[in-house]
A and B are shown apart, each in its own frame.
Chain A
Amino acid sequence: MAHPIIKIDHLSVRYDGQEVLKDLSLNIQKGKIIAVIGPNGSGKTTFIRAILGLIPYQGMIQIDGQPVKASLTKIGYVPQAFSFDRSIPMTVGEFLTLSFKKVSPRKLKRALLEVDMRQYENHPIGSLSGGQFQRVLIARSILNDPLILVLDEATSEIDMAGSKSFYDIVAHLNKVHETTVILVSHEIQMIYKFADHIICLNRELICYGKPKEAITKEVLERLYGQDIRFQEHRH
């Protein structure tokens, strides 16, 4: 078997003396779409931030055989929301080129085309809807042809139609570029449709496998508590 694109060994994260993630070990193979689920406060965002090297952690994380800090440019990241002030006058084109030393106009146009935003290159970012802006963030994250695309609840502020289109774009990138995708999401139906594997977290690893096999009644109870009702739809 090929070496994993992400190798995580005994990952633990503590905040103010409290263990937020405990002894997580798993390997993620290249070209897969991995969904991360869990209740609020289960450590999903902490898990993502550790992979991105944004927080200190114990244990080991390797990206394509290298430490995280040496691999940042191999990762594209789309957060739930960026903290910056979108009222700053800046066009989509300016915003996209800012993150990289050199971006050819052709590459910029291609990235925008892939997320169906080609005509918005000269639009101010402040004039975009939530869904359009998330697509621009995907375009930004794919400009340097990343090996891994990390999406942290990236559809939480967009409507259902926008969310569907967002996942279609992600699936397209995964298929065409073989980009490994890690996405945090609460949209179980989308996960069933798009994810190859699922990681269930509740401060520790509860399950890891194919969605239909990994999500069981017991797993959902361990994730969301005893009150959860497991309803299986058969169509």
Chain B
Amino acid sequence: MFHYPFMQRALIAGILLAGLFAYLGVFVVMRRMAFFSDGIAHASLAGVAAGVLLSVNPLITALAASVLFAVVMFFLERKTHLSSDAAVGLIFTVGMALGVLLISLKRGYQPELIGFLFGNILMIKSWDLWLIGIVSVFISGSLFLFRREITLMSLDPEMAYLSGIRTGFFQLALYIILAISVILGIKILGIVLVSALLVIPVSISKLISSSFQKLVIRSVVFAEVIMIAGILLSYLFDLPTGAIIVLTGAVLFFTVFVLRRS
């Protein structure tokens, strides 16, 4: 199976994204932002639909839409009394509604759209792989470079501010990074399931880690195992990639949970 170029692309993209998602997922869990990433993914349907309608690469339009939504959420949280989940709920539904509206304007069956909703490893073209590769390396590098600032800000923004960290800047940067990463992942996992890879590996790692360093390293290892196993199983049994990856993660989570308790 590895001689097929689409499988090579899927595996390379999967490995790159798994590492990025695991590292980002640590901050998502710390900041309790799982709903934010889910909301961004769903709202990006508007961007995907706009791309399909305008015959532009939907990944590009989804990226633009998700960054816009992330910035709007950031300012809604800061400038209004809306709680974070209310702001996400607003953007989530508005993006979905806009997506449904735009899709309705295009006649006929849209197989590409189904791929974006549920993930499809066949959809990863060379151009996508380059984009995923460059952006993943850039984001992972930035996260590593500013790991102290982002970790402290994710742990407690007030404590970060008092340590001289520009919390507003880093919070906005985290929102944008998360939005971009989620969109890169929807080709493999789909809009509906992409946020699972941010949460599941960290949740497994959290069960068995006693230090932050171990939490990060084990999250990355678990994410890679889940991603590679999911892609291979999906290919071998001809099953939807996103669903298989998430279910592989869930099986691993409950296995570790039971083993730890026993």
CB-defined contacts of B151 to chain A, threshold 8 Å: 98
Most buried by A among B161, B163, B164, B214: B163
Tally of chain B residues near chain A (CB < 8 A):
22
Most buried by B among A52, A79, A98, A124: A98
- Interface digits, A103-135 against B, CB 8 Å rule (1 contact, 0 not)? 000000000000000000010100000000000
Whether a CB of chain A sits under 8 angstroms from the CB of B211 is yes
Which of A23-31, A70-78, A169-177, A196-204 contacts its partner?
A70-78
With A72-B164, A101-B148 as given contacts, are A89 and B30 in contact (CB-CB < 8 Å)?
A: no
Tally of chain A residues near chain B (CB < 8 A):
23
Whether a CB of chain A sits under 8 angstroms from the CB of B262 is no
CB-defined contacts of B158 to chain A, threshold 8 Å: 54, 79, 82-83
* 8 A Cβ contacts from B19-48 to A: 29-30, 32
Whether a CB of chain A sits under 8 angstroms from the CB of B213 is yes
**How far is it, in angstroms, between the C-alpha of A72 and the C-alpha of B212 when the chains are bound?**
26
A89 touches B212 (CB 8 A): yes
**How far is it, in angstroms, between the C-alpha of A72 and the C-alpha of B158 when the chains are bound?**
12
- Interface digits, B121-152 against A, CB 8 Å rule (1 contact, 0 not)? 00000000000000000000000000010011
A94 touches B212 (CB 8 A): yes
CB-defined contacts of B206 to chain A, threshold 8 Å: 87-89
CB-defined contacts of B164 to chain A, threshold 8 Å: 72-73
With A89-B209, A101-B148, A124-B211 as given contacts, are A72 and B156 in contact (CB-CB < 8 Å)?
A: no
CB-defined contacts of A83 to chain B, threshold 8 Å: 156, 158
- Interface digits, A81-102 against B, CB 8 Å rule (1 contact, 0 not)? 0111101111100100011110
Whether a CB of chain A sits under 8 angstroms from the CB of B159 is yes
Question: Considering only CB atoms, which chain B residue lies closest to A94 in the complex?
Answer: B212
Whether a CB of chain A sits under 8 angstroms from the CB of B174 is no
**How far is it, in angstroms, between the C-alpha of A94 and the C-alpha of B29 when the chains are bound?**
18
CB-defined contacts of A54 to chain B, threshold 8 Å: 158, 161-162
With A52-B162, A98-B148, A101-B148 as given contacts, are A82 and B214 in contact (CB-CB < 8 Å)?
A: no
* 8 A Cβ contacts from A182-197 to B: none
CB-defined contacts of B162 to chain A, threshold 8 Å: 52, 54, 72, 75, 77
Q: List 10 A-B contacts (CB under 8 A).
A: A72-B161, A73-B163, A75-B162, A88-B206, A89-B206, A89-B210, A90-B211, A98-B148, A98-B152, A124-B210
B interface residues, Cβ below 8 angstroms from A: 29-30, 32, 148, 151-152, 155-156, 158-159, 161-164, 206, 209-215
